[in-house]
Chains A and B, each alone.
Chain A
């Protein structure tokens, strides 16, 4: 365990350069990549999660730690056999048609990325057709939609309908969010999930894909 303490500490601090260097050193010293992940990276992230839940760590620190882990994983990926690493999943995200607000959507994307999801960000004012087209192209696990205005919220069920018509509804889970959006509304429009904030979105995404 102590072999990987410097790596865990670098992950906790969100020090990307130090963590990457530690990962390299560990591999050069002949350590098993799985040990580097479990005893170094994951151990560090566990501590980050622990501190976050106690209120000792703030969101930026958690995101930085996750980003640090991802950078280290880039070195480790080629060394792992196919199927060794389960990807958390791919998420297509965008602000719906007619709505130009993207701060909340960006925060959610960043948190999801930090948590290990692969993100395809379609930006703002995304019409239903474009969501459909990108689902066909990227084969995501989840489609995440954001709206800030009561006037643009109807674009959410319209997009869901478009996905249904394209025969893709059973291939993806749909999540929605944004200030005026509620759990009740999510149920009404038959979205699979809703979260009120960025942290909640990560939990919801994990829940939808059965990730602990």
Chain B
């Protein structure tokens, strides 16, 4: 039996309800600033309370509930290979990496550089080969790619390096349309893509309580074209939301619910993820802290809040302020990823590959985080108790003073009972010396070399790639 999720609930039932009521109060009495007239019209026609001069929308509780009732409580983020489909809303936890950073930490020189298209391709290849990173979020910005063909390029190089589900941001409607056309071409048609959308889009409302026009247009395009959307409010406690955790949660909950409700106005039944990226400011110098323990606590609480509405949650964990793969990185990532996983989030993003407050990526860190996440999955799978695992007959057979090393029971269960890390050092001191004093970081660099060396060709195949390039001439090489 897997462990009974959730294993961690930071809020008791009464507290969950107070925060939810708070969010409903905010939506009813304060409202959301919707900076798009067409969207205001749609919401007005659908029965929301619209204040046109101030571009404010208020959500009556009954209206909110009827809109949210149309949102699916479970759906699939499809992979192209069929083996890596993400089933949301089924009580399983899925980790993914984090996206759209601008810096890359070079493992050899230790220098930070701007990210390019090749970094998109290579991080996708890494995720393709790391089992516990279940789908790929487009990891970084491609600095030399022009705006007009930007999303054609970052999505193409993602698709060409992983068959796992790909999620990315889209800056504008034109970008979303490009990506949709590209994905449709790969899928073999619009209908095929609608049936099994192997990409999704992440959009960000602006905290506090604001949705701007580009974001709404992308959201609407996705909802009407069957593309799943994660709607990620990112309040910073002490700056763009109250300094209190409860206040930040109430505001973020309002923003996430508003986004989910608006999606249903755009297209009833639209697949929407309740996003949560609550962070806190370190008030000493006003530094944003994504690796703070409060961020983990709030993300775990958000799982409880999303659960009230049976919306699959797209939570956040595994982030750090540290600039290198060091002790702080390991402790912050492990602690937050573990807590949010124990809370039972459907998806946990930003949890792999990132450093420097989600501004930077490091290839080696992907491999290290993959192992941290694997360890966490061992926690989630719990302690199996049955006749076989209790092993009373075996204990009787071996008796006092014997050992279990060669027993059938050992061989039968040893693979499944333990998590076998690939990076952590477990050998004796002397063996460790003989091996040249390896550590998780040095070992992860070896894995990076190995994976990238074997991933040069891409996964789409030369024939399909040449047809894609003919149809979409804006696609560039991954340099």
Contact = CB atoms under 8 A, between A and B. Distances in A.
Interface of A: 14, 58-61, 63-64, 67, 103, 106-107, 110, 182-183, 196-197, 200
A58 B406 CA distance: 11
Given A196-B428, A196-B430, A60 B410 contact: yes
A169 B414 CA distance: 42
Given A67-B406, A106-B403, A107-B405, A61 B428 contact: no
Main secondary structure of the interface of A (DSSP, over half): helix
Given A58-B414, A60-B411, A60-B414, A110 B406 contact: yes
A177 B411 CA distance: 27
A196 B406 contact: no
A183 B410 contact: no
Shortest 3 CB-CB contacts between residues of A and residues of B: A196-B430, A196-B428, A63-B406
A61 B411 contact: yes
Contacts of B415: 58
Interface in B424-447: 427-431
A19 B326 CA distance: 51
Contact of A63 (B405, B427, B429, B431): B405
Given A60-B411, A60-B414, A183 B430 contact: yes
B276 to A, nearest CB: 39
A203 to B, nearest CB: 12
A107 B428 CA distance: 15
A150 B465 CA distance: 66
A25 B142 CA distance: 67
A58 B418 CA distance: 12
Interface in B270-286: none
Contacts of A103: 403
Interface in B375-407: 403, 405-407
Given A61-B411, A110-B403, 8 more contacts: A59-B405, A60-B414, A63-B405, A67-B406, A106-B403, A197-B427, A197-B428, A200-B431
Nearest to A67: B406
Nearest to B418: A58
B406 A64 contact: yes
A197 B429 CA distance: 10
A196 B410 contact: no
Contacts of A197: 427-428, 430-431
Nearest to B404: A60
A64 B411 CA distance: 9
27 contacts: A14-B406, A14-B411, A58-B415, A59-B405, A60-B405, A60-B407, A60-B411, A60-B414, A61-B411, A63-B405, A64-B406, A64-B411, A103-B403, A106-B403, A107-B405, A110-B403, A110-B406, A182-B430, A183-B430, A196-B428, A196-B429, A196-B431, A197-B427, A197-B428, A197-B431, A200-B430, A200-B431
B409 to A, nearest CB: 10
Interface in B148-162: none
A59 B407 CA distance: 12
A64 B414 CA distance: 14
Interface in B406-423: 406-407, 410-411, 414-415
A20 to B, nearest CB: 16
A110 B404 CA distance: 11
A67 B406 CA distance: 9
Contacts of B407: 60
Contacts of B405: 59-60, 63, 107, 110
A196 B428 CA distance: 7
Contacts of B410: 60
Contacts of A182: 430
Contacts of B429: 196
Nearest to B415: A58
Contacts of B428: 196-197
A183 B434 CA distance: 12
Q: Most chain-B Cβ atoms within 10 A of its Cβ — which of A64, A103, A107, A110?
A: A64
A59 B430 CA distance: 19
A8 to B, nearest CB: 18
A14 B430 CA distance: 30
Nearest to B422: A55
Contacts of B427: 197
Contacts of A67: 406
Contacts of B431: 196-197, 200
A136 B403 CA distance: 30
Nearest to A103: B403
Contacts of A58: 414-415
A107 B405 CA distance: 8
Nearest to A59: B405
Nearest to A199: B431
Interface string B336-377: 000000000000000000000000000000000000000000
B235 to A, nearest CB: 46
A183 B405 CA distance: 27
Among B406, B427, B428, residue most surrounded by chain A Cβ atoms (within 10 Å): B406
